[in-house]
């Protein structure tokens, strides 16, 4: 936890679930609350991942989340939109600040089947903002090798992306276990971005730069986005649904995409 304020990640997830042995839950909870309240994480999003709803530690974790007041609280093993909404209800009943978001981990075949309800929960509850893929647990629950190759999980990942888009949620891809395989990880990040993911969780700090490189726009994309925005902003194109730039046709949807690209570039301080 002490390294959190020093690394170049956009968010830090303080974990009370899989990273903590059963006999260390109380100690870890106390340390997590102390760190989230006392350490300066700067612009990094501070996320507290609690134990699963059916676990014996969940109720105490809810109280800890209220006390720690992170930027977001993450529910692991979310398997339906109803479950996420119940989690939100419990947090709000305990007095969680209105400024704290809720994230959910999708890590089972049940979550795949429940994708429409997760989308509905995203649309219904403003506090529910983000889903994260738990690809290792997903592979295990499906009876696959762990970790399963991306090709075997592709259809399920696409289902999660569709649910996120339908529900107005951000979606973060899962981890890449072999942190020494820099080339393989970089390629996996590019595949993740092409699939429509907004970012991904990392298992080691050495993976951060590759994730930033994959999910931030390059110079060519930024230049193209500027051209698109400028062309549609030209009064001569005020009533146009389609414009031509350098021999290519661009619709209004490309304008929206260009604006998102420039916003992402600004976030990464590339413009």
Token representation of residue 259: 């604006």
pLDDT band at 1 (very low <50, low <70, confident <90, very high): confident
The verdict on whether omega for the bond into residue 147 sits within 30 degrees of 0, i.e. cis, is yes
How far apart are the C-alpha atoms of 262 and 268, rounded to whole Å? 10
Task: Supply the DSSP string of 77-119, one letter for each residue.
Answer: S---HHHHHHHHHHHHHTT--TT-EEEEEE-SHHHHHTHHHHH
Over residues 10-30, the mean pLDDT reads 96
CA 33 to chain centre: 22
The predicted pLDDT at position 102 comes to: 98
Task: Supply the DSSP string of 51-78, one letter for each residue.
Answer: --TTSTTHHHHHHHHHHH--SEEEESS-
Over residues 223-251, the mean pLDDT reads 92
Over residues 231-253, the mean pLDDT reads 92
> What contacts 132, CB < 8 A, 6 or more positions away?
74, 103, 104, 105, 106, 171, 172, 174, 201
Structural domains in the chain plus CATH codes: 4-215 (3.20.20.60), 219-267 (no CATH)
pLDDT band at 260 (very low <50, low <70, confident <90, very high): confident
Over residues 134-151, the mean pLDDT reads 94
pLDDT band at 134 (very low <50, low <70, confident <90, very high): very high
- Between β-strands 128-133 and 101-106, what pairing exists: parallel, antiparallel or unpaired? parallel
Over residues 220-247, the mean pLDDT reads 92
pLDDT in tens, 22-51: 999 999 999 999 999 999 999 899 999 999
Token representation of residue 186: 């970089």
Q: Are 29 and 63 in contact (CB under 8 A)?
A: no
The predicted pLDDT at position 267 comes to: 74
In angstroms, the Cα distances linking 89 to 98, 118, 159, 203 are 12, 15, 26, 31
- Rounded to the nearest integer, the mean pLDDT of the chain is 94
The predicted pLDDT at position 147 comes to: 87
Residue 16's nearest CA partner among 47, 46, 51 is 51
Q: Which of 63-72, 143-152, 217-226 has the highest mean pLDDT?
A: 63-72
Q: Are 169 and 122 in contact (CB under 8 A)?
A: yes
Token representation of residue 67: 């006390």
Buried b (16+ CB within 10 A) or exposed e, 117-137: bbbbbbeebebbbbbbbbbbb
Q: Are 185 and 207 in contact (CB under 8 A)?
A: yes
């Amino acid at each position: 936890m002490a390294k959190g304020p020093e690394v170049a990640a956009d968010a830090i997830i303080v974990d009370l679930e899989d990273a903590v042995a059963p006999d260390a839950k109380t100690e870890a909870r106390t340390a997590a609350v102390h760190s989230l309240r006392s350490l300066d994480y700067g612009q990094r999003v501070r996320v507290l991942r609690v134990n699963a709803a059916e676990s014996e530690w969940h109720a105490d974790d809810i109280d800890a989340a209220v006390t720690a007041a992170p930027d977001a609280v993450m529910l692991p093993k979310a398997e339906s939109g109803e479950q996420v909404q119940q989690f939100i209800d419990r947090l709000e009943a305990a007095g969680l600040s209105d400024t704290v978001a809720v994230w959910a981990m999708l890590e089972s075949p049940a979550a795949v089947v429940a994708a429409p309800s997760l989308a509905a929960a995203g649309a219904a509850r403003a506090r529910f903002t983000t889903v994260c893929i738990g690809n290792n647990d997903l592979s295990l629950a499906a009876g696959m090798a762990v970790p399963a190759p991306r090709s075997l999980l592709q259809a399920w990942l696409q289902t999660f992306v569709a649910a996120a888009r339908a529900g107005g949620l951000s979606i973060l891809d899962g981890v890449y276990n072999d942190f020494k395989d820099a080339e393989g990880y970089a390629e996996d990040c590019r595949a993740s971005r092409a699939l429509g993911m907004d970012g991904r969780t990392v298992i080691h700090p050495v993976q951060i730069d590759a994730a930033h490189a994959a999910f931030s726009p390059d110079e060519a994309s930024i230049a193209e986005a500027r051209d698109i925005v400028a062309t549609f902003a030209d009064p001569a194109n005020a009533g146009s649904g389609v414009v031509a730039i350098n021999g290519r046709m661009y619709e209004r949807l490309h304008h929206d995409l260009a604006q998102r690209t420039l916003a992402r570039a600004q976030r990464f301080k590339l413009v």
